[in-house]
């Protein structure tokens, strides 16, 4: 299996090379040349598999240049009950008739990003060892991504992590999660500024080609192909969990509703569907930052600048440019790389695009639909589920449940992705249901009382570069 770029100007590559990459050299995103097809006999074989067995069965189709025994070892070390709290890894629970919740947030940082990031940590370490290389990960975070990356990469050989966060802008829980890590290879840097300032510093250092090369800079952002691939697995697992009683009924399909920001999670659902998993609709749920809702309903994609992005109570979706979107548009435009290139060059300079002429294909051929949820919807949904089912969900998941209920057709089975646990967003939970005791997993009890380790710096790239130089030896 070779990988190619959505912009067509990058020579085909192997999985283990793509794994360590951010953007393709031509500015596009890397994709497999084709999606392996899964027939109903294979689906039946996979149905009884444990999570790591299923992950191996799926990933081996894409990671063909990795030794099979080694890949098996990586997924077996990644998807364990001790890391994810349950041997199901991503358990499904029934909410009401035809509506299910897919629990993706039982990993170390209580958000769905752990499912992919834990795999990436082990896969990075393995590939770096094989290549005899090292990597200095620098990233900017407003909460979930940074902590998931740190918990995945802590203690890994040949990897140093420098994570920039805006000083005083994260919740007490999020701060404690990151800053309490004591592993030698984890470096927390609080920047006196906003999240965008942190991101600008990361960009500045990445763009300094000399510095980048000398210190082997890399990233683990949501466009990473390894993350998308790892997420494909739980769409299959969830389908099997819900369709368990309907083995014979191969015509029956399920739909998924996914709270979306960067189009990463639902892009994995799209790939599962392309592989032949019987998915009916893929429903994109947005918050007030609704550029994807607009696209999937009207066909116009108009990303907003960072300063026009709303700050909401589902903050991990406060994104106005969906960085994985290009992967879908590439297929939609029938692999017309020149057109993809010109559309996304436009996006880069602040211009949107209009594909309303092919919207019929978007829904009928690819199954996409979308809806939107706002602060009051979030609160009402959290309260409704708590009062009626004694089920507490986080604000992002609430956006998904709200949209799923709104768009659900008669007899349509919808599985809603639970992208974080409520304890991470206690303030909004209290606003919705009053001051209750929110359950937390054992390993996070007393987290806020642990000593914290963080370096505070002024908002200047050179100061961050100095921190990196203190730790990482330059290559010759
Ligand atoms: C990152 C995140 C999302 C959005 O996921 P995308 O893959 O960027 O669409 C939704 N909810 C939570 C809690 C997240 O951390």
The dihedral built from the CA positions of residue 449, 453, 457 and 459, taken in this order, carries a sign that is negative
419 lines ligand 1 (CB under 6 A): yes
Q: Are the beta carbons of 285 and 372 closer than 8 angstroms?
A: yes
**Cα 463 to ligand 1 centroid, rounded to whole Å:** 30
Average pLDDT over residues 135-156: 92
* 352-364 pLDDT, tens digit each: 999 999 999 999 9
Which residues neighbour 1 within 8 Å (Cβ) at sequence distance 6 or greater?
15, 32, 33, 36, 61, 62, 63, 64, 65
List 72, 113, 372, 424, catalytic entry? 113
For a mutational test of ligand 1's pocket, the pick from 264, 324, 416, i.e. the residue with the most ligand atoms closer than 8 A to its C-beta, is 264
Q: Which of 111, 116, 147 best tests ligand 1's pocket when mutated (most atoms within 8 Å of CB)?
A: 111
Kindly indicate the confidence band of residue 350, based on its pLDDT and cuts at 50, 70 and 90: confident
Indicate the helix (H) or strand (E) that contains 257. strand 254-259
Cα(430) to ligand 1 centroid in Å equals 22
Distance 397 CA to ligand 1 centre (A): 10
Is residue 113 flagged as an active site residue? yes
Q: What is the pLDDT of residue 219?
A: 85
369 or 166, greater pLDDT: 369
Determine the average pLDDT of the residues in 412-416: 97
Judged on CB neighbours under 10 Å (0-12, 13-18, 19+), 329 is: buried
Question: Residues 337-357: what's their mean pLDDT?
Answer: 93
Six token digits for residue 238: 């969830």
Q: Which domains does the chain have, with CATH numbers?
A: 92-109+247-433 (3.40.50.1100)
| Cβ of 420 less than 6 Å from ligand 1 | yes
Q: Which of 163, 156, 117 is nearest to 139 (CA)?
A: 163
Closest CA to 332 of 284, 370, 299: 299
Query: How much is the average pLDDT of 252-278?
Result: 96
CA of 420, closest atom in ligand 1: 13
Mutation test of ligand 1: which of 174, 235, 258, 317 has the most ligand atoms closer than 8 Å to its C-beta? Answer: 317
pLDDT tens readout for residues 95-122: 999 999 999 999 999 999 999 999 999 9
Cα(419) to ligand 1 centroid in Å equals 6
CB 10 within 8 A of CB 2: no
C-alpha 317 – ligand 1 centre gap (Å): 6
Identify the band that residue 290 occupies on the pLDDT scale cut at 50, 70 and 90: very high
Cβ(400) to ligand 1 under 6 A? Answer: no
259 lines ligand 1 (CB under 6 A): yes
Q: What percent of the chain has pLDDT over 70?
A: 98
- Please state, rounded to an integer, the average pLDDT across all residues of the chain: 94
- The whole-number pLDDT of residue 249 equals 56
Is residue 300 within 8 A of residue 354, CB to CB? The reply is yes
| Residue 122, ligand 1, Cβ within 6 A | no
Q: Are 161 and 427 in contact (CB under 8 A)?
A: no
3-state secondary structure of 444: helix
Is the C-beta atom of 265 inside 6 A of ligand 1?
A: yes
Question: 367 falls in which pLDDT band (50, 70, 90)?
Answer: very high
pLDDT digits (tens, 9 = 90+) for 182-217: 999 999 999 998 888 898 899 899 889 899 999 999
Q: What is the pLDDT of residues 217-256, one digit of tens each?
A: 988 888 899 999 999 999 999 999 998 754 455 678 999 9
* pLDDT band, residue 420 (cuts 50/70/90): very high
Quote the CA–CA distance of 72 and 57 in Å, as a whole number.
9
**pLDDT for residue 268:** 98
Is residue 163 predicted with pLDDT exceeding 60? yes
Residue-level pLDDT at 353: 96
Any idea what the Cα angle at residue 296 is, between residues 292 and 300, rounded to 5°? 80
Q: Is the pLDDT of residue 143 over 80?
A: no
Sign of CA dihedral 317, 319, 320, 321: negative
Name the residue with the closest Cα to ligand 1, atom 1: 316
Q: What is the pLDDT of residue 245?
A: 56
Per-residue pLDDT at 252: 86
Q: How confident is the model at residue 324 (pLDDT cuts 50, 70, 90)?
A: very high
Query: Percentage of residues in the chain with pLDDT exceeding 90?
Result: 82
pLDDT tens, residue by residue, 423-455: 999 999 999 999 999 999 998 999 999 999 999
Could you tell me the pLDDT band of residue 22, with boundaries at 50, 70 and 90? confident
Compute the distance from residue 264 Cα to the ligand 1 centre, in Å. Answer: 8
């Amino acid at each position: 299996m070779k990988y190619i770029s959505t912009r067509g100007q990058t020579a085909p590559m192997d999985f283990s090379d793509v794994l360590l990459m951010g953007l393709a050299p031509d500015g596009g995103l890397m994709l497999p040349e084709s999606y392996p097809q899964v027939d109903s006999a294979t689906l039946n074989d996979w149905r009884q598999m444990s999570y790591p067995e299923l992950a191996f069965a799926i990933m081996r189709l894409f990671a063909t240049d990795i030794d099979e025994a080694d890949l098996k070892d990586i997924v077996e070390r990644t998807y364990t009950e001790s890391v994810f709290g349950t041997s199901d890894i991503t358990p499904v629970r029934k909410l009401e008739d035809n509506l299910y919740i897919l629990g993706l947030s039982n990993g170390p940082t209580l958000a769905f990003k752990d499912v992919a990031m834990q795999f990436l940590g082990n896969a990075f370490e393995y590939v770096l060892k094989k290549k005899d290389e090292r990597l200095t990960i620098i990233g900017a975070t407003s909460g979930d991504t940074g902590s998931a990356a740190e918990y995945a990469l802590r203690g890994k050989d040949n990897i140093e992590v420098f994570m920039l966060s805006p000083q005083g802008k994260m919740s007490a829980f999020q701060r404690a999660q990151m800053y309490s890590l004591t592993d030698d290879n984890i470096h927390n840097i609080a920047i006196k500024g906003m999240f965008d300032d942190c991101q600008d510093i990361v960009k500045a250092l990445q763009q300094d080609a000399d510095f980048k090369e000398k210190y082997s800079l890399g990233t683990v952002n949501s466009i990473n192909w390894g993350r998308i691939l790892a997420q494909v697995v739980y769409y299959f697992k969830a389908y099997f969990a819900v369709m368990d009683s309907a083995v014979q009924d191969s015509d029956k399909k399920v739909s998924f509703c996914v709270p979306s920001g960067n189009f990463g999670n639902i892009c994995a659902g799209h790939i599962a569907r392309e592989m032949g998993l019987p998915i009916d609709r893929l429903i994109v749920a947005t918050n007030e930052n609704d550029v994807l809702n607009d696209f999937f309903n009207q066909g116009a994609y108009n990303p907003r600048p960072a300063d026009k992005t709303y700050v909401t109570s589902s903050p991990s979706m406060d994104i106005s440019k969906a960085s994985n979107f290009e992967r879908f548009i590439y297929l939609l435009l029938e692999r017309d790389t020149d057109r993809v290139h010109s559309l996304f060059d436009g996006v880069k300079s602040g211009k949107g695009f209009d594909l309303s002429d092919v919207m019929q294909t978007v829904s009928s051929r690819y199954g996409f639909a979308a809806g939107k949820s706002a602060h009051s919807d979030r609160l009402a949904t959290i309260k409704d589920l708590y009062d009626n089912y004694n089920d507490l969900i986080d604000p992002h998941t609430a956006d998904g449940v709200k949209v799923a209920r709104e768009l659900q057709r008669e007899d349509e089975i919808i599985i809603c992705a639970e992208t974080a646990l409520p304890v991470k967003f206690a303030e909004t939970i209290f606003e919705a249901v009053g001051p209750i005791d929110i359950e937390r997993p054992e390993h996070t009890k007393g987290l806020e009382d642990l000593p914290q380790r963080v370096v505070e710096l002024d908002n200047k790239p050179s100061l961050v570069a100095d921190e990196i130089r203190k730790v990482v030896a330059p290559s010759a």
